[in-house]
Structure 1
């Protein structure tokens, strides 16, 4: 499977006729890393001294690489949290989208990187931007992947619970239809239900989350949707 493609989405996309090029969140490849210079290079390596010098010299904080990634995007991919802080303090934009329409928050969410996500949110990054070619959110991406701790942190930061992407799926629906029904997806669904996500919203075919869970044999998830708290 190509690096950066969300597990399970390939088959779904093929069935829907979605172009394969729309699937990938692309971290910097080895050749791209070797080509980095300036702030991108310093951000990737977490070179604080070089970052400070470049910032002081007036380097463009929101410069783009060949895939539209800023130094802050690169630092997020590399989990260089001190670099993120330095760039943000200097005025880098936390909420820009790269060419595949991912922001730093969604990059961290897809990577299951709760620590970097928390840094971004603490610095003022938005939790609920519309991102990706599916017009989704970081919360939907994290729910799809069963990144339960990331989901909880995004919920706490005010991410929209009931956003519908262009597949007509919410975070609740994606946790079921693109999940494996296992413990992490169960915890993800539980967090969404506890937070008040609307479990009455259906997919494009009119299926409720409960119907979708039952159809897949996800007994534990179905039970979560049938309890009194699931309103």
Structure 2
């Protein structure tokens, strides 16, 4: 059975990913059966070395999966602060909305990830964006009941 770049990313095989990209550089912005790019998948699995390699290899940092989620949204959903910093340092857009209208900041509030919300706010994320249900990040923070998060998003 041939392992794909997606299998290599899931298992954290940095050398395998390097080899795959050397043989087929166009894989860097390919998509799997779920519409995810290698970068979306690498960030979802918190594979920082592979994420860095993909960025250096020309991965589209703001590419989305089938639901419209960017790599930055995924790390905010999962709670991966270092991955978020890496993406933001490399120019990830913070205020992109997915098919449900969520942004990275809305996800950080929805999943009670204070440090991620702080990072996004400190870097100018738009606190006024509403998702399809009309909720802002602050509305989601109030649902979670985290006083620090609520204060940050006011």
Superposition TM-score, scaled by structure 1 size? 0.62
Deviates more, 1:166-175 or 1:212-221: 212-221
User: Contact 1:95 / 1:126 at 8 angstroms: preserved in 2?
Assistant: yes
93, 98, 109: which one aligns with 1:165: 98
Give the aligned CA root-mean-square deviation in angstroms: 1.5
Structure with the greater relative contact order (CA < 8 A, sep ≥ 6): 1 or 2?
Answer: 2
Distance 1:190 1:215 in 2: 18
Q: Which has the larger radius of gyration?
A: 1
2:129 is equivalent to residue 129 of structure 1: no
68, 77, 81: which one aligns with 1:148: 81
**Count of matched residue pairs:** 153
Measured after TM superposition, the shift of residue 206 of structure 1 is 2.3
Name stretches of at least 5 consecutive residues in structure 2 with no aligned partner: none
2:60 counterpart SS class: coil
Superposition TM-score, scaled by structure 2 size? 0.90
Measured after TM superposition, the shift of residue 223 of structure 1 is 2.1
**Equivalences for residues 1-231 of structure 1 within 5 A:** 36-37=1-2, 40=3, 71-93=4-26, 94-131=28-65, 133-177=66-110, 179=111, 181=112, 185-226=113-154
Measured after TM superposition, the shift of residue 106 of structure 1 is 1.1
Distance 1:99 1:211 in 2: 34
Name stretches of at least 5 consecutive residues in structure 1 with no aligned partner: 1-35, 41-70, 227-231
